Amino acid sequence: MVALVPQPLHVDAGDGQLLLDGVRVRSEGLGGDAPALERLVAELVASGAGDLAGETPDGRSDDGARGVPVVLRIDPAAGPQGSTSAERYSLVADADGVVLAAPGRSGLLHAARTLRQLVEHAGEGPARLPHVVVHDAPRYPWRGLSVDVARHFFGPSALRAVVDVMASYKLNVLHLHLTDDQGWRIESPSRPELVRRSSGSDVSGGPGGHLSLDDFRALQEYAAERGVRVVPEIDLPGHVNAATHAYGELVPDGVPTDEYQGVEVGFSRLAYGLPATEPFVRDVLGDLARATVGEHVHVGGDEVHTMDADEYARFVVLAEQVVRDAGKTPVVWQEGAKAPLRPGTVVQYWDTNATDLEYLVEAARAGARVVLSPGNRVYLDMKYVEGFPLGLQWAGFVELRDSYDWEPEDVVDGLPAGAIEGVEAAVWTETLTSTDELFTMLLPRLSAVAEVAWSAPERKDWDDYRRRVAHEARSWRRDGVAFHPSAQVDW
């Protein structure tokens, strides 16, 4: 059986099957990347096959007599006809074995994820693989998940688990909301008081925590190996109580604000006119940009409820400039589009209660790129249903079908379709205190968002997705990943 999530562009299933008594992975044209990628692919296939076979195929076996050959091939001609996506790939499984082909490493990783699902879903008994041909490419280049590690801290091991699940659905951007009123979660070498004074608690009065620069570096490496890049966020000029608690010079009376463990938003702010403000913004965004491997740095800009429009715009322009000076591309929440943005800046739409989004449409027409995170679709901290024990409900209840059944081009009236860079889910952690709680909110909805971001609209179908996603529960259970068995699926 072929049941893939997200749904590929072209799938052509044959009649035969390969018995997977092992795999022998080898590569063509990969250069120095070859051993690491071969190992990763072998591990992926083996883990997919493991609980079906009752025995994990030995992915490292060089024994020519045993194991299905899996070839990783760099091939510019791979992928769907006409696709120019750098992430495109093809997969062919037939009596001779398996060939994964792509123009680059990211496509080969996607092909390996598809292979893993094919193995995993092949049915009961010994691990098998259906004969199949897949040609696939993503709809959008930005397929993300934002994780709030400020309200409750989630450290490296939880974030690696998040990366694993994201990568399994071909998501490629992990956005980390690193600072907020309740905590500053990233080491900033030029501002050591931030983590010293403002990372030791959370919304539940727990111990909090923060990522050291070494943690951050290691996480980016782990994610990059799996085809995921990290977009870190320092939220300015609101959501800054952790900063004003650490540095009293950032408030007009010079007295540090109290630690904050509540969940209300919009009260804290920087003050543009204070002499300490601009150096602070330059220091923390400069430190973050230097520590960031990927192209983007997010500067926040949401929910600044106590600042006039001119001062707010000056902050956005400053933050944008600092990030550009550091050689990165800035990202702002949707409100940031009220400032005169430079072309290429990414604007992240989120607030589905906001009316009159003409300013966002104008920014897109002027060259901003738009990432869509509509709260009533992809805010995965919203409760699934009334009475759900975790989550919030300001954007409404978000059942699995709500996360699945929407069209990005219809979200913002008048938004040019060509300005849409992608789709990003978000999970805010006011009510989430453990990895199990986090994953209960992410799954299954994250897989639905992944299909919105990856699959061609004509390949999407709710009833078909319901059938396919039911198979995913097997790997979540096996891997010990929590999920919510939504009543909308026959698990």
Q: Where are the beta strands (DSSP E) in 213-336?
A: 229-236, 296-300, 329-333
- DSSP reduced 3-state for 441: helix
| 267 token code pair | 């009260």
Q: How far is the CB of 350 from ligand ACM (least distance, A)?
A: 5
> Is 396 a residue that touches ligand ACM (CB under 6 A)?
no
303 is catalytic: yes
Q: What share of the chain is helix, strand, coil (3-state, %, to 5)?
A: 35, 20, 45
Decide: is 350 part of the binding site for ligand ACM (CB under 6 A).
yes
| Residues of this chain, 296-335, that bind ligand ACM according to CB under 6 A | 302-303, 333
> Cβ of residue 100: shortest distance to ligand ACM, in angstroms?
38
Q: Please provide the DSSP assignment of 9-51 as one string.
A: SEEEEEEEEEE-S-EEEEEES-GGGHHHHHHHHHHHHHHHHHH
Q: For ligand ACM, which is the closer residue by CB, 181 or 202?
A: 181
Here the tokens at position 202 are 């959370």
Nearest Cα neighbor of 383 from 402, 403, 400, 398 is: 398
Residue 403 Cβ, how far from ligand ACM at the closest point, in Å?
16
**Element of type H or E holding 173:** strand 173-177
Instruction: Tell me the C-alpha to C-alpha distance, in Å, between residue 231 and each of 45, 180, 470.
Output: 29, 16, 31
Closest CB to ligand ACM among 215 and 303?
303
Q: How far is the CB of 215 from ligand ACM (least distance, A)?
A: 24
Closest approach, Cβ 382 to ligand ACM, in A, equals 11
CA distances to 67, 84, 97, 137, 291 from 425, in Å = 39, 25, 36, 20, 24
β-partners of residue 124 are none
Contact partners, residue 255, CB within 8 Å, separation at least 6: 248
Residue 222 or 359 with smaller CB distance to ligand ACM: 359
- Nearest residue to ligand ACM, using CB? 302
Minimum CB–partner distance for residue 303 and ligand ACM (Å): 5
Count of chain residues binding ligand ACM (CB under 6 A)? 4
Task: Retrieve residue 344's tokens.
Answer: 């290429």
Which DSSP string corresponds to 74-102? E-TT-SSTT---TT-EEEEEETTEEEEEE
Looking at beta carbons only, is 153 or 333 nearer to ligand ACM?
Answer: 333
Q: Helical H runs in 176-212?
A: 193-198
CA distances from 341 to 37, 312, 336 (A): 39, 13, 8
Of 94 and 303, CB closest to ligand ACM? 303
Token duo for residue 170: 């071909």
Residue list 189-248, contact with ligand ACM (CB under 6 A):
none
Q: Which long-range contacts (CB under 8 A, 24 or more apart) does 41-45 make?
A: 41/70, 41/72, 41/100, 41/108, 41/112, 41/115, 42/70, 44/112, 44/113, 44/115, 44/116, 45/20, 45/70, 45/112, 45/115, 45/116, 45/119
Min separation Cβ 333 and ligand ACM, Å: 5
Catalytic member of 43, 193, 225, 303: 303
If one asks whether residue 349 binds ligand ACM (CB under 6 A), the answer comes out as no
Nearer to ligand ACM, 348 or 433 (CB): 348
Using the structure block, give the residue that is written with the tokens 């691990």: 127
User: Is the peptide bond preceding residue 237 cis, with omega within 30 degrees of 0?
Assistant: yes
* Smaller CB separation from ligand ACM, 303 or 405: 303
Of 260 and 333, which has the nearer Cβ to ligand ACM? 333
Nearer to ligand ACM, 243 or 481 (CB): 243
| Vertex 336 angle, CA 375 and 244, to 5° | 95
Q: Between β-strands 183-184 and 179-180, what pairing exists: parallel, antiparallel or unpaired?
A: antiparallel
d(CA 142, CA 134): 22
**Is the Cβ of residue 277 or residue 373 nearer to ligand ACM in the bound state?**
373
Integer Cα distance of 426 and 147 in angstroms: 6
Amino acid at 185: R
- Residues at the site binding ligand ACM, with contacts judged by CB under 6 A: 302-303, 333, 350
Give catalytic residue positions: 303
